[in-house]
Chain A
Amino acid sequence: MTPVLILSGILFAIGVFGVLTRRNAITMLVSVEIMMNAANLNMVAFSRLYHPELMTGQVLAIFGIGIAASEAAVGLALILTIYRRYGSTDVDRADLLKG
């Protein structure tokens, strides 16, 4: 099991790194998707480890993929709005909440 968990950890770290360092909104969205896939991988792995007879984790992963799809749709819609507003997808420019 360890190699699978290491892989998911690496994927999650890649996703966090991408969200923290990229300014492009689409790249950030892609990074978020990578993090979600790391989570899905974990769910399948732990399900197999502790309850091989139940398939709970696999079902949850499929739900996660579906939710990821809708999340991507919402996220892309937001990015589209940001693009219309600022003329680019650079999130650094969307800082209206600055105090």
Chain B
Amino acid sequence: MGGLLLAIPLVPLAVFVVLLVGGAYLRLTGAAGPRGVAGAAGAAASPGAVAAEPSATGGQVAVVDQRVVALRAAAGWLSVAGVAAALAFGVVALVAFRGGAEVALSATWFRVGSLEVPFSLRMDGLQGLMVIVVGGVSVLVHLFSVGYMHGDRDVVLYFAELSLFSAAMLLLVLADDFFVLYMAWELVGASSYLLISHYFERPAAAAAGKKAFLTTRIGDVGLLLGIFALVRITGSLDFQTVFAHATEPGLPGAWRVAVPLLIFMGAVGKSAQLPLHVWLPDAMEGPTPVSALIHAATMVAAGVYLVARTYPIFVPAPEALTVVGWIGALTALTAATVGLTQRDIKKVLAYSTISQLGFMVTALGAGVPAAAMFQLFTHAWFKALLFLAAGSVIHATGRQVVDELGGLRRRMPITAVTFAAGALALAGIPPFAGFWSKEEILGALAGGHPVFLGMLLVATFFTAFYIFRLLFVVFLGPEVEAEGDVAAGAPVRESGPVMWVPLVVLALAALGMGFWGAGFLGYPLQKSLGLDAGQAPVAGPWWVTVVAVTLGLAGIVLAWLAYARRPARAGAAAETVAERPGRVRPGRPAFDARLEDSLGWTYRLVDHAYYVDALYTRFLVAPFVGMARFLARTVDAGLIDGIVNGVAWLVTGAGGGVRRLQTGQVRDYVAAVTVGVIVVAALVIGALG
């Protein structure tokens, strides 16, 4: 069965290699024209590349272009097939695991001194859950991308990167030792960087990729140090050995708390928790399907999965779990408030993701990893749905700011309905998936964590409010005509089936996936995944459910009152704009402006995400840049160059001084010789006596 496990990540990896090599080959042989594999799509519209060729080779160009067209067309479907095959293999492996077989692969990769570095994969309940989430969402997102990225300049590169990401994520999920885990962890980070910076010609996208990479890197350092400590203490990288050692006899001294906290640092970076959450909103610069796959469903879940996977290390350290819980609860609450004010659809969803990840991390901290994983499972579907629906809107309209959107329900009914399904699931309204998983978390918190419970209930209310604000503003109300788009000729209409089919599938998942883990069915998810009894969640008290649903409904009703009634939009009347510049923008939801007027600086504080970015820029980035500038301009240009130039100056000066001895006058040389002879003669005579 080991080979089957290996095949799961290898299939998308093979697709990655094929697309990369194929794209590079066409690029190097010049078939793709000067702008890379871009060629074919642009060739028809802009005759640049082809027209530049001499007409004598016209026939050949056509043949070559045909290859590019074929590769571009095949890339998307090839990568869909790759992840679909991986998902199929994963399901087969999971079925085999449920049949009682041990589905594992273990080999010694290499040795360093006395340390044996293994390469082990394992299919277990937890991994099975993640394989279904990663594989399932991947297939749908790849499919959606075929439509969304159609005609993109670097579509082959895009699908290569997306396949690499899927392969890395599947490898991460299946890893059974810290070495493979860390390798996949970094691969995920690297492919995330590539995908965020896919539109690398936009400075914002390039900067966002760098920011994501560097920010998560801070967490990765913690994870790496934690792994180092574990290897030092236990002498092994294997999960089972390490976990056994961490349980009995336990990690020595302060390491008992330090190691889980270091590992959690990695999770904080990848899962965008406070204080390393800043990269996720910026990561929305990437293509929207990427946001759906990476920054909602799978990659950001890697941190939660990491903690759940290494939970035996956390169990003996309640102090570490308390830290985990607080960070999760604070993240859930603050990110939910920021979601209330954002203007960019994707920014709202980004903060929503951070907030929902906070829910999961809180559950981890409260000692119910199964609830966290259940929330991860349901959240992956409905958040991918919300992102893809947003992508559908962006694809159709070319706009993503709420001011410029409105009344899309008539033109994009499927998108509107599926978005509503995702919103209901996010708000935790029964019977949608989010309800069941949120109840697990809140119910578990009711038994002993009243503070966390309170914070998450408030976050639940805000969640319902911000997501329905988005729904009402974008899909209800009058249509907003912004200059320049519809006038250009293409009326806004529903996206094609390759895009709405994934939406519908995800909407059904958002509706139904919750039952699979719900209490009244006896937790079939946990049972089918073979999670042991200790991880099976306990049902919370009934009043938590009532309060949570009431708060969710209250959020929806208030959002309705605030955003769905007329006049929904701020007027563009000149005097109003002049009186309150900046606050009243044409098309801005009227309630936003009212809210800002009444709350003042509080609103702006939230609107700017508590100025965390500004603080980082001011107190971390600016000193760092200042130090770099100091090193470059003062130390390098002054000290280092000074030493080098000083040596040169010294040699030049000495040479210039000595040069004067050479007068070119014969008599001076003769005089020198004479004096020399006299001195030597005097010495000789003196020596002889």
Contact = CB atoms under 8 A, between A and B. Distances in A.
B667 A96 contact: no
A91 B666 contact: yes
Interface in B573-615: none
B114 interface: no
A68 interface: no
Interface string B646-673: 0000000000001111111111001100
A21 B666 CA distance: 11
Given A16-B674, A20-B671, A20-B674, A94 B659 contact: no
Interface string A8-51: 00000000100111010000100000000000000000000000
Nearest to A28: B666
B666 to A, nearest CB: 5
B670 A99 contact: no
A95 B667 contact: no
A19 B662 CA distance: 19
A92 interface: yes
Interface residues of B, number: 13
Question: Of residues B658, B663, B666, which shows the largest number of chain A Cβ atoms within 10 Å of its Cβ?
Answer: B666
B653 to A, nearest CB: 14
B667 A99 contact: no
B659 A20 contact: no
Interface string B37-68: 00000000000000000000000000000000
A95 B664 contact: yes
A98 B670 contact: no
Given A20-B671, A20-B674, A99 B666 contact: no
A97 interface: yes
Chain A CB within 10 Å, residue with most, of B658, B659, B661, B667: B667
Nearest to A22: B667
Nearest to A98: B664
Given A16-B674, A20-B674, A94 B666 contact: yes
A95 B670 contact: no
Contacts of A19: 667, 670
A34 B663 CA distance: 26
Contacts of B660: 99
Contact of A98 (B663, B667, B671, B674): B663
Interface string B189-229: 00000000000000000000000000000000000000000
Contacts of B658: 99
Contacts of A16: 674
A91 B669 CA distance: 12
A99 B658 CA distance: 9
B398 to A, nearest CB: 75
Contacts of B665: 91-92, 95, 98
Given A16-B674, A20-B674, A91 B667 contact: yes
A20 B667 contact: yes
Given A91-B666, A94-B666, A99 B674 contact: no
A16 B672 CA distance: 12
Contacts of B671: 20
A95 B674 contact: no
Contacts of B661: 99
A21 to B, nearest CB: 8
A20 B670 contact: yes
A98 B666 contact: no
Contacts of A96: 664
Contacts of B659: 99
A97 B664 CA distance: 4
A96 B661 CA distance: 14
Nearest to B678: A16
Interface in B620-661: 658-661
A32 B522 CA distance: 124
A24 to B, nearest CB: 11
A94 B667 CA distance: 11
Interface in A75-95: 91-92, 94-95
A28 B658 CA distance: 28
B678 to A, nearest CB: 10
A19 B660 CA distance: 22
Nearest to B669: A97
B493 to A, nearest CB: 87
Given A16-B674, A98-B662, 12 more contacts: A20-B671, A20-B674, A21-B667, A91-B665, A92-B667, A94-B664, A95-B663, A97-B664, A99-B659, A99-B660, A99-B662, A99-B663
Interface of B: 658-667, 670-671, 674
Interface of A: 16, 19-21, 23, 28, 91-92, 94-99
Q: Which 10 A-B pairs have the closest CB atoms?
A: A95-B664, A98-B664, A99-B662, A99-B659, A97-B664, A91-B666, A19-B670, A20-B667, A98-B663, A20-B671
18 contacts: A19-B670, A20-B667, A20-B670, A20-B671, A21-B667, A23-B667, A28-B666, A91-B667, A92-B665, A94-B666, A95-B664, A95-B665, A96-B664, A98-B662, A98-B664, A99-B661, A99-B662, A99-B663
